[in-house]
Amino acid sequence: MESAAKLRAAIEKANYEYHVLDSPTISDEQYDALLRALLRLETEHPELVTPDSPTQRVGAPPSERFRPVRHVAPMLSLGNAFDAGEVRAFDQRVRKLLGRTEPIEHATSGIDYVCELKIDGLAVNLTYVDGRLVEGATRGDGTVGEDITANLRTIKAVPLALRERTKGRIDVRGEVYLPVRSFEATNRERAERGEPLFANPRNAAAGAVRQVDPRKTAERDLSIYVYSAAGLDVPTQHQLLERLKALGLRVNPKWRLVTGADEVIGYAAERHAEREELGYGVDGVVVKVDAIADQERLGYVARTPRWAIAYKFPAEQATTAVEDIKAYVGRTGVLTPVAWLAPVQVGGTTVKRATLHNLDEVRRLDVRVGDRVVVQRAGDVIPEVVAVIDADRAGRGDQWQMPSRCPECDGPVEHREDEVAYRCANPSCPAKQGQRLGHFVGAMDIEGAGWAFLSQVQDRGLVSDPADLFDLTMDQLTALDRYAEKSASNLYQRIQAAREQPLARVLVALGVPHLGWTTSEVIAQWLADDLGPKATLRAVFDRLRATTPEELQATPGIGPIVARTITEWFADPAERAFLDKLARHVRPAMPERRAVAAASPFAGKSVVFTGTLERRSREDAEELVRSLGGKASGSVSKKTDLVVAGSGAGTKLDKAKQLGVAVIDEDEFDRLLRT
């Protein structure tokens, strides 16, 4: 029916004007009226609903976990420059590699660069096929991300359909972020509900984007800026940005095409000066060689392009006085010295406390109560003390000492010789337990279990470790202050639902040092491959107790320190009772076994790379093949199935031809990856 299409077009136009052009032509009321009219029409005629209708932004049911998505080309990271000298060095390198160095006095033309803001958010990939959004994914480890399509669809600045019916597949990359005002509002609400605060807008955005329930993502005021794309045929980065904008995608308007290092440095200084007024987090500028042909010639080293660099803004600093130094007990029992400061403005926010990290750092800085210090806010909102400025004045206080008794429970504080940390040794220290409980309910997504709730169940002796949460009865919950029948019952349901959370969440929730989201996902996959999809939590814990650091380290993405901490933690007899209890209550959803074998074109194949690849390093390419079930080998033999030859391939290529082994180039390799 024509009117549905018309309404849709009008709404999409309004979205584009509002979110992409930042210049709305209709009022919010008019917009709502259009949306309501379309909703009514679609409710009466469900056959008119199209997947890219603006009414379908929040439509998908909550998903249990996120499906892994392999990126067409890896999502890379950038090298950093921290001062003007490093930017000049970058420019020099680019000119040298492109053969455009000339004595300064003869220098006629510099390199053209596109300068953009480096948005401090979360990198995502949006896939459009024939102009329609079909998939959205997180960056993940750069090679494999998570399918968060349903969540990204709720972001109004993400077009569900491009303004032009483009042919084939386009992969657009950008940064999802939370405007500073929305971040502050979110934290105010969380403080009122007694929930832990987000450290910075990036964390808040990351949390929103990975919500299992898209309705929760929709509640946050997320937006996006896009900055690159594969599948659009344009000769320069600046034309790419223009093209992306014309397609209806949101491009940050602050970009500029400049020539030479001096103009890059000037651009960065201007952006730095207006940083606080931007309304969104920016941690520097990104400098990119404009000509795509030159980008291709420059190529990559490891996982970073040689044609781009992130020029980071200097950290924000201010000076103030230290009023006190206190030890704060964290969830693992570690005592962290924290400086209580005379309030001071640092880069737009008021800072009252700053971390001193540990006792070694307190000694290194020689910071004492009464000192004037420099505090700094780097990428995170958690500020730190970086220097004492009046250390030689007369009448300074004494050196600060780590307390010998825990400030929370008065239990003994212990210190191992080989460790920096001091810990409260009392296993039932309420601070430790409280933090641990808070971390557990956060990671397990038990909504409504804020600090107000946790402190009550702790004080009443109902819960001493996180596993006890599952023993709480409806009667116990309704007996809590401020928990009426309805809210108690909601909370009860949420706790019950948490019993079946995905394994990675459960692993994060345990609060093992170094076991964060990324590592947990890697380990969950490893366990699923090893134990199968029906494994119980008990089997999981047994397996982890039986593993060695060496075995864990053999899993890509797990380093020696992480491997050691994890194995030690699971083997620690002090955790045994808690883990046994938890295993009785929780039956996590296991990830699916990796089904690479049949589907992948590389399964069981032996592949050799030779010459220089343009779009990835040889290590990355080999890793890709291995992750798809193939074998990457260094030399060509009769057993080799495939040789991928980059530029300058030599003897291995000759040998392959001699033996009649199939040889392909990188474009063909990309095509195979896509199948």
Site for ligand IVH, rule CB under 6 A: 76-78, 116, 118-119, 123, 139, 175, 227-228, 286, 305, 308, 310
Smaller CB separation from ligand IVH, 121 or 333: 121
Q: How far apart are alpha carbons 653 and 139 in whole angstroms? A: 34
Smaller CB separation from ligand IVH, 123 or 385: 123
Smaller CB separation from ligand IVH, 80 or 553: 80
Greatest CA separation found in the chain? 85
Q: At what angle do helices 28-44 and 2-15 cross, to 10 degrees?
A: 150
SS3 content of the chain, % helix, strand, coil (to 5): 40, 20, 40
At a CB cut-off of 8 Å and minimum separation 6, what does 366 contact?
388, 391, 399
> Annotated catalytic residue: which of 6, 96, 118, 639?
118
Smaller CB separation from ligand IVH, 77 or 336: 77
Smaller CB separation from ligand IVH, 298 or 608: 298
Q: Is 581 known to be catalytic?
A: no
Q: How far apart are alpha carbons 379 and 223 in whole angstroms? A: 19
At its nearest, how many Å lie between ligand IVH and the CB of residue 75? 6
- Do 189 and 253 touch, CB atoms closer than 8 A? no
At its nearest, how many Å lie between ligand IVH and the CB of residue 119? 4
At its nearest, how many Å lie between ligand IVH and the CB of residue 614? 13
Smaller CB separation from ligand IVH, 76 or 111: 76
- Cross-strand partners of 136: 126
Smaller CB separation from ligand IVH, 294 or 447: 294
Nearest residue to ligand IVH, scored by beta-carbon proximity: 123
At its nearest, how many Å lie between ligand IVH and the CB of residue 254? 10
The terminus-to-terminus CA distance of the chain in angstroms comes to: 37
At its nearest, how many Å lie between ligand IVH and the CB of residue 453? 36
Q: 95: how many CB neighbours lie within 10 A of its CB?
A: 17
At a CB cut-off of 8 Å and minimum separation 6, what does 154 contact?
57, 58, 214, 215, 217, 218, 222
Q: Where are the beta strands (DSSP E) in 417-547?
A: 422-424
Long-range pairs of 562-567 with CB within 8 A, sequence gap ≥ 24: 562/514, 562/515, 562/519, 565/512, 565/513, 565/514, 565/515, 566/512, 566/514, 566/515, 566/519, 566/523
SS3 529: helix
Six token digits for residue 19: 């979110």
Smaller CB separation from ligand IVH, 11 or 75: 75
Task: Give buried/exposed letters for 355-388 (b at 16+ CB in 10 A, else e).
Answer: bbbbbebbeebebbeebebbbbbbeebebbbeeb
Q: 618: how many CB neighbours lie within 10 A of its CB?
A: 17
Q: How far apart are alpha carbons 547 and 566 in whole angstroms? A: 10
Residues recognised as catalytic: 118
